[in-house]
Chain A
């Protein structure tokens, strides 16, 4: 082994603490890089899975391709060619107003493998004549094993052929085509990728041999390289004479097909930004580690130079250290990162199981990711070691000979003001001088602290604003369930309201009318930007808003009005309403829709159809309110809520068109209870009992889902912040403790002239205070600026005012001071009571 290699190894062994701490820095950095890359890949994989679950595993479709061309396609260099055909519609229920059809699709084997059909019972078709139907069909009496004869045909409205996506149209005509026999071989869940607006869907096996050469089929494709698909498909479609083509946009986007795709680009940029931050943080730590090590061994390098070691040989020592540390740290870091992320994803899958259904976060490990991480890490180590290596090589042999190593310090560099001495005493003055003499190291340490502070505060603020906007929408809603009633017996509603678990309820009627407002009557948020652009205008230039007139039942109305210090009776005599002047756009912004006052009269009208004149009426604003009543939801950006009594609503409706009257007659029931789970079950079982036609919105479930999502976000963000902080702490520990150890002789000298151990601790306390103060003086303002930027950038406008993230700032201030102080104390403890003369007699030999 060469002498330089021996020197490297022994140096690493001797300075165990430094070696271990630097390796920890490399491990943390590597773990984070591969962690971020893996998470990004996992997210991408999840979105791909979700796109497949939602839409099927294909990249593009060619419509109306002659069967003879399919073989041509199979010859081409495509991953998979799937053939399907619309067999037609069979009538399930004949009705002039709302007919019901069974839409039969034929799939070949590859299609059955690639499209997400969830089998509930039986098997998927494997032969011609076999058919799978949905659970709804099973409820209508279709069972496995049954043979059915279906007359298949097409739907037409006038001359236009209707598809499965078209609702049953009044006046549409069904034309029979052929009779076919099918044996039901399986039952499936309603397929998400195929929307049937006029009934149900069934799938049978496509036998290509039974079709004529010129019969038209649809072909779904998977290509080998998605990147070129948007350019390659049109000529291919033309080549095979396809009538049309389409893309599975959602899947292609997550496979990275489109270079211009915003979502992919966003994910890529976020990943890159985070990795750059990690690299910057890591480089400061590892650079600092090498810088300290070189500084500590200045004499040694000087001796080597004086004995004849070349600059290249000395540089080699430092680089070799980097190589050895990397050889240990990089594999451990990668392993730690993969294990950490694997565990995190498992936890997240459990938390998010209900949100993402059939998909799951998978740990995506690719050799490329590992290779790139190792490369990044090697680059980080090289960059970090490069400057210190260069410095080591430049150390003049004379530095080895002279006892003082700080010969380059000029008096003015370490000058401190008299005020420092007055305020902080000799100890504080010495502390400040020490800091000034080692500016570069000081700056590196402060920079590392600064990065940690900025990242911690910024990410925490981001979380905070995210939570606030989420809470604004769903957090404030006081009800647990909304039951929209369509068609049911009156008993159902009576029994529903009598459920004992209900603590509060409201029977809510709504009437959508239109209001004309001039610009000054709109709230400040609606007066500009895309909000204003979204509002339609009439010929006179007035802005048209949807006005949602709502009544919530007498009991709730009285409660609401009294809670706000008003008299319910005032709103019964006159035709007036309470303007609910607060709206929230989900996850975005809270704002005041209108800028009108109590007493103003609004001109409203219902919506007209078929050329009829809208019915106009006037409504006075009896009060302007800031909070939602129980039973009233937030609305869209071009709408506003006005609360009226039941009587006022019905009296307004009586003067409007029939459509509006029907609308006012419909109602929903808003419920809240002590145990939302039991209440939900009772509602559902009542609905089944009465075969009621209703729709249940489970607000509490939505709130729970949001909580889960934000928990996941919190895990990622706080996990990241913790790791970045750990890197920062590693750096501080290394820098400060070594810096202190290097000054053992100095401290011994001070003790020899009478500095007490308490005095020594005081110097140390001041130094850590100055480090912390400097880092905080830069870090805190920058963090606040970044928080402001995020406040503005991530939401267009918040009507809650900007809040300085006090909690995070305080944690930072305390944390930074604690870390720096504890580090120095730990380092100085060793020698603060040692024999003075031993330390004074110290030369670099020990």
Chain B
């Protein structure tokens, strides 16, 4: 089942002499349950692509259809709600709310919706993410790895259609990095989570089921990883 379709996506920044074409007509689709890595050199447009897919950066042209919905045809309010319920975003720099504790940061999308927290599911996530003993801590009391795990938990709490991770290990050491990737792979396998990870790290790319290569804002490669299990 197609969970994501990107059609002729373009993104231009600036004007005149400072005009930069970050995306120059990108099109592809992703099936439910896929683990896709988007790779490319610095400045290739991979993060821009991910942000456009994630509904956090409006493209200059083209369409992004997630779970059958053209997300940029929605109003700002509806897009925000869509993001909350259907998309999970994980960033390189965690982007937690500094004045909310671990539990509050993780359940933020639910709380914004005014929904009841599924305690069992939350507990499961906390165990999986090894955060059970850190529930009441604030972000500045956590290590980098722990903070990233919280952000993964936040991304997963609403069982989103798409999980998008932008350089999720960029700010972590190798041990933590591998832990994070394992967690993401786990969510992909256990919860049938469709996962798109932007990375410049070939090691991570090798662990994905499909690798899309971006250069100068265009897709220059789209390969299935035959060794992906």
B83 touches A (CB below 8 Å)? yes
Which residues in A have their C-beta under 8 angstroms from that of B58?
396
Query: Inside 8 A of A540's CB, which chain B residues have their CB?
Result: none
Q: Are A844 and B112 in contact (CB under 8 A)?
A: no
Contacting pair A7 B99 (CB below 8 A): yes
Whether B99 and A14, one on each chain, are in contact in the complex, defined by CB atoms closer than 8 angstroms, is: yes
CB contacts (< 8 Å) of A307 on chain B: these are 83-84, 89, 108-109, 112, 154
A403 within 8 A of B: yes
B77 at the interface (CB under 8 A from A): yes
15 A-B pairs within 8 Å (CB atoms) are namely A2-B114, A7-B100, A300-B98, A303-B95, A304-B108, A306-B54, A307-B89, A308-B81, A308-B85, A308-B109, A308-B113, A309-B112, A396-B57, A398-B51, A398-B57
B104 in complex: contacting residue of A6, A304, A308, A312, CB < 8 Å: A6
Inter-chain contacts of B140 with A (CB < 8 A): 845-846
Per the bound structure, the CA–CA distance linking A311 and B96 in Å amounts to: 19
CB distance A846 to B98 under 8 Å? yes
Complex Cα distance, B82 from A313, in Å, reads 15
Q: Are A3 and B84 CB-contacts (below 8 A) given A398-B51, A398-B56, A401-B95?
A: no
Q: Say whether A305 faces chain B, with CB atoms less than 8 Å apart.
A: yes
Q: How far is the CB of B166 from chain A (nearest CB, A)?
A: 7
Q: By the criterion CB–CB under 8 Å, are B56 and A304 in contact?
A: no
Interface residues of A, Cβ cutoff 8 Å to B: 2-4, 6-7, 10-11, 14, 299-300, 302-313, 396-398, 400-401, 403, 410, 843-846
Q: A306-B89, A845-B139, A845-B140 are in contact. Are A299 and B95 (CB under 8 A)?
A: yes
What are the residues of chain B within 8 A of A300 when measuring CB–CB? 97-98
* B54: nearest chain-A partner, CB-CB: A306
Task: Report how far A309 CA is from B80 CA in the complex, Å.
Answer: 6
Q: 8 Å CB contacts to A: which residues of B27-53?
A: 51
Interface centre among B81, B83, B98 (most CB of A within 10 A): B98
Give every chain B residue within 8 A of A11 (Cβ-Cβ): 99
Report the Cα distance A310→B78, complex, angstroms.
8
B residues 130-149 near A (Cβ < 8 Å) are: 139-140
User: Which chain A residues border B95 with CB–CB below 8 Å?
Assistant: 299, 302-303, 306, 400-401
Q: How far is the CB of A846 from chain B (nearest CB, A)?
A: 6
**Hey, which chain B residues are within 8 Å of A308, CB to CB?**
80-85, 87, 109, 112-113
> How far, in Å, is B93 (CB) from chain A's closest CB?
6
Query: What interface size band does chain B fall in?
Result: 35 or more
Report chain B residues within 8 Å CB of A403.
93
Instruction: Contacts A306-B54, A306-B89 known; list 6 others, CB within 8 Å.
Output: A3-B100, A7-B97, A299-B95, A303-B95, A307-B109, A410-B18
A400 to B90, alpha carbons, bound, how many Å?
12
CB closest chain-A residue, reference B88: A307
The A interface, classified by DSSP as helix, strand, loop or mixed, is helix
The answer to whether B111 has its CB under 8 Å from any CB of chain A is: yes
| Partner of A310 from B77, B91, B93, B139 at Cβ < 8 Å | B77
The answer on a CB contact under 8 Å between B91 and A401 is: yes
Question: Nearest 9 CB-CB pairs, A to B?
Answer: A308-B84, A397-B56, A3-B111, A10-B99, A308-B83, A310-B80, A398-B57, A303-B95, A310-B77
Partner of B93, one of A313, A410, A843: A843
Check B99–A303 contact: CB distance below 8 A.
Answer: no
- Closest Cβ of chain B: how far from A539's Cβ, in Å? 84
Contact A6 B100 (CB under 8 A): yes
For the complex, give the distance between the alpha carbons of A401 and B58 in Å. 14
Taking CB as reference atom, which chain B residue is nearest A410?
Answer: B18
Q: Which of B54, B76, B100, B113 contacts A311 (CB 8 A)?
A: B76
A14 to chain B, nearest CB (A): 6
> Shortest distance in angstroms between B131's beta carbon and chain A's nearest beta carbon?
17
Contact of A313 among B54, B87, B112 (CB under 8 A): B112
Most chain A beta carbons < 10 A, residue from B58, B77, B108, B109: B108
How far, in angstroms, from A846 to B98 measured CA to CA in the complex? 7
Q: Find the residue from A307, A310, A843, A846 having the highest chain B CB count within 10 A.
A: A307
A19 to chain B, nearest CB (A): 13
A3 touches B108 (CB 8 A): yes
Q: Nearest A residue to B83 by beta-carbon distance?
A: A308
CB interface residues, B 63-91, toward A, < 8 Å:
76-77, 80-85, 87, 89, 91
Contacts of B89 in A (CB 8 A): 306-307
Q: In the assembled complex, how far is the CB of residue B85 from the closest CB belonging to chain A, in whole angstroms?
A: 7
The answer, among B83, B94, B113, for a CB contact under 8 Å with A306, is B83
Minimal beta-carbon separation of B115 from chain A (angstroms): 11
Q: Which residues of A contact B87 (CB under 8 A)?
A: 308
Q: How far is the CA of A519 from the CA of B100 in the complex (A)?
A: 86
A355–B55 Cα distance when bound, in Å, is: 74
In the assembled complex, the Cα of A410 lies from the Cα of B104 at a distance in Å of 38
